[in-house]
Structure 1
Amino acid sequence: MWDSLLVDCRIATMEPLPGNPLGLIENGAIAIQDGRILRVGKRTELAGFRAKEVVALGGAWVTPGLVDCHTHLIFGGTRADEHAMRRAGATYEEIAKAGGGIASTVKATHAASTDQLLASAAYRLDALIKGGVTTVEIKSGYALDVEGEIRLLRCAAALAASEAVRIVPTLLALHALPPEYRDRRDDYVAMIADKLIPRAARERLATSVDAFCENIAFTPQEVERIFNAARANGLPVRLHAEQLSNQNGAALAASYKALSADHLEHLDDAGAKAMAKAGTVAVLLPGAFYALQETRKPPVAVLRKHKVPIAIATDCNPGTSPMLSPTLTMNMACTLFGLTPEEAVAGMTINAARALGLAHEVGSIAAGKAADLCVWRIENLSELGYWMGLPGPERRMFGGTDA
């Protein structure tokens, strides 16, 4: 006897079928056993089986639980003052050079106690959960030293232990250069490569290593050193690439078979082609594009041409994407970047799972996967990318349990 059976629903499985790229099922049913999906199909295909609980959903849409594959959720303070500066015309680079930007968040993060960091992060995480997120990636990166970065990764682990959500911790190893290393860049990169990455790997605190490859951040050569350290310690890599300029970071990431390259406003054809060959997912971040009032959009047509999987994420962070709504992210991806509603849904489910190396576990509704589901009281699936900030699902299931 099954634990539960969801019936009278329309299902976006995100498992492609011939002529049906989202694997849509009308009058569907989902059987759940021990927190995992046992069977999914039309109601008639599951007739005759018994379950402890049968839940009729009244024609609602069921999607996989949403996957937010790029966030900087743990930090001290806010940067609301920079919002005002930006409205007055200051650029991202000007704010950073004036001592704002990441440096100000690093200062606030060091000043905050661990309990304060956890409390503020839990508040933000709760908003994502209410919006339908069941898997969320959390990066470190706001400490810029070994002990501080380890503390942030431990905070992510603590959140995973206390919330009904899957946390995917990422070591953002190269985020910004601390002022004290301004004239000793090599020493800083060496510390990260030789001390921080091995320790994070040894203590199993991170599932991947990330870096910021940009003209105001780190060079491709410095990133490559970090990627080599990650590879030596058995960790896959990701990269903030081509956000403000083309540093050929996407091609570099692809050469290391990176899980993802993120932002990509300045991506060129060669970079997209390299990503396609490597299986590297493109993660687009419309919240940052919006907050920074950028005008150059990611080359979605180029990504489509090369069949690069497109994911989207909130990029929740205090300075350039104070975004806490996954559904608004989907709307922005459609409105600002020209994604179709179907691409937006895939971007926050199966393709986001691919960007985290978790497509075998989450991101679609298929036998054997975790029963992480969202029930939406909408008439058409495209409404997820239509409403501006849809409050969230009517029902959210994590591991087969309402949460």
Structure 2
Amino acid sequence: MQKIDLLIHNIGTLLTMAGKNGPRTGADMSQVSPVEQAAIAIADGRIYACGPEEEVWSRISDLVIMEQLDAKGRLVTPGLIEPHTHLVHAGSRENELSMKLKGVSYLQILEQGGGILSTVRATRLATEDELYEKAKTSLDRLLLCGATTVEAKSGYGLTLEDELKQLRVTKRLHDTHPVDLVSTFMGAHAVPLEYKGRADEFTELIINEMLPEVKRLALAEYCDVFCEHGVFSVEQTRRILQAAKDLGFGLKVHADEIEPLGGAELAAEMGCISAEHLLAATDAGLEAMAKAGVIGVCLPATSFNLRLTKHARARSMIEKGVPVALSTDYNPGSSPTESLPLVMTLGCLHLGLTPEEVLTAMTVNAAWAIGKGEEVGTLEVGKRADLVMYQKEAKTLAYLPYHFGINHVDTVIKNGQIVVKHGSLLYG
């Protein structure tokens, strides 16, 4: 006889996000599919039934219920999806804060051997165990903020062995931590000092040595490239992405973050699943992305931390038909934060999104941006039982970005298991 492992009942408002099967665009981004006085029944880590409480009770009336959780009228959403992080790295760069306050730009810091290259030096010196412990701390913070699936990029090694070291740590975290990790190889994150002035040679190294070995060891699902002035040109990016595509990697690209190089257009041309940043993307680039179905991953905490007056044009993306996702861009330089609640607020205040659009961008669209939309991102029968229950005062969706600077998460359930309760980690 089938049993229900966990029944969550007395849910005040359940935002299922159910609807169109695929990334949401336009007006569909405002559809959160609320259910009042709801319940969710979980069996074998997946949703067995969800919806109005009476209907759920009726469906499971003949089944044994192993555990019940009274939501006490709380708000419940799908587990949040984090589609863009640089999770595994060593060191920190608080010394760059004063430089930024004096007006030194991101690219100027990079040219002086700081920025990414500073983290590269620290990451190369770190052991796998040291990288694991640091990344685990950040992954715990993301989980406490409601993240149940997280993408993690390499890109702070810039040699074959150091890139593999980062990717092995990502795999180890995926195998040992409650949060599911999606691994992205980003050896093309910067041109290392030993290849300064020889970006073409480093591009060849990535294509001929790094990508094949990462694929052979099955350490990444995606390949990402930082397409930007002073980093990788459009043509270098195209060559790397084509080589990755030929090997069977999914494609992503850091596109048009600082200058409008044509990264958005390239993402459409290459069939990338997502283009990230996009602060300087042109109308033509956004229109090409919309036509190709490329998801735009916006990173408002990055532009906030860099003190930029211009942010990604998320409103224009939605109007043009681009599916929009949101992320922290957690990294040690331009966005040293794991705060998903902060991103919710910035998504409203700096990008002009409604709370409903923000939640869509951090659940459904974020899930599709890392190829996991069939499994997570909505609360529907058959999907993984990943969900977040919020504190009593956060009774409405709008309250989450409205009361900013606060983590409103009370309980997180991952694969049907309670891993955060009353704001504290339970796993392990």
Asked if these proteins are the same fold (TM beyond 0.5), I'd say yes
Q: Which residue of 2 aligns with 1:259?
A: 273
- How far the C-alpha of 1:52 sits from its partner, in A, is 2.2
- Could you say which residue in structure 2 is the equivalent of 1:388? 404
The answer to whether 1:44 aligns with 2:54 is: yes
Decide whether the 8 Å contact of 2:299 with 2:326 is kept in 1.
yes
For 1:118-129, list aligned pairs within 5 A: 118-129=132-143
Q: Do the aligned partners of 1:328 and 1:387 also contact (CA within 8 Å) in 2? A: no
User: What is the DSSP-based 3-state SS (H/G/I as helix, E as strand, rest coil) of the residue aligned with 1:58?
Assistant: coil
Contact 2:400 2:408 in 1 (8 A): no
**Partner residue, 1:60:** 74
Q: Is the 8 A contact 2:300 2:312 kept in 1?
A: no
- Contact kept? 2:207, 2:240, Cα under 8 Å: yes
Alpha-carbon deviation of 1:394? 1.0
Query: What letter is aligned with 2:73?
Result: G
Which aligned pairs between 1:122-137 and structure 2 lie closer than 5 A? Answer: 122-137=136-151
Q: Is the 8 A contact 2:157 2:187 kept in 1?
A: no
Corresponding position of 1:13: 16
TM-score (norm 1): 0.97
Q: CA RMSD in A?
A: 1.5
Q: 1:241 is matched by which residue type in structure 2?
A: A
Partner of 2:292: 278
Q: Which structure 2 residues correspond to residues 84-95 of structure 1 after superposition, within 5 A?
A: 84-95=98-109
Equivalent position SS for 1:346: helix
1:288 aligned partner: 302
| 31, 38, 52: which one aligns with 1:28 | 38
Q: Percent identity?
A: 38
Aligned-residue offset at 1:392: 4.2
TM-score by length of 2: 0.91
Q: Deviations over 1:271-290 (max 9, x none)?
A: 11111122111111011101
Residues 1:301 and 1:332: Cα distance change in structure 2 (over 3 Å):
closer
Measure the CA separation in 2 of the matches of 1:260 and 1:273.
14
2:128: which partner in 1?
114
| 1:301 and 2:315 matched | yes
Distance, in Å, in 2 between the alignment partners of 1:173 and 1:271 is 25
Equivalent of residue 215 in structure 1, options 225, 229, 249: 229
**Partner-residue secondary structure (3-state), 1:39:** strand
* 1:83-103 per-position Cα deviation (integer Å, ceiling 9, x unaligned): 121112211122111111111
User: What secondary structure, in the 3-state scheme, does the structure 1 residue paired with 2:73 have?
Assistant: strand
Equivalent-residue separation in structure 2 for 1:385 and 1:255 (angstroms): 35
Task: Report what 2:339 is aligned to.
Answer: 325
Contact 2:315 2:351 in 1 (8 A): no
The more displaced of 365-374 and 14-23 is 14-23
User: Does the Cα contact within 8 Å between 1:65 and 1:374 map onto a contact in 2?
Assistant: yes
Structure 2: which 5+ residue stretches go unaligned?
Answer: 21-26, 420-428
Deviations, residues 251-280 of structure 1 (Å, cap 9, x unaligned): 111112211101111111111111112211
Superposed CA deviations along residues 53-84 of structure 1, whole A, max 9, x for unmatched, are 23221111111111111000111110000012
Distance 2:389 2:402 in 1: 17
SS in 2 for 1:173: strand
Match for 1:397 among 413, 417, 420? 413
Tell me, yes or no, if structure 1 residue 239 matches structure 2 residue 242.
no
Alignment size in residue pairs: 403
For the residues of structure 1 that align with 2:235 and 2:316, how far apart are their CA atoms? 26
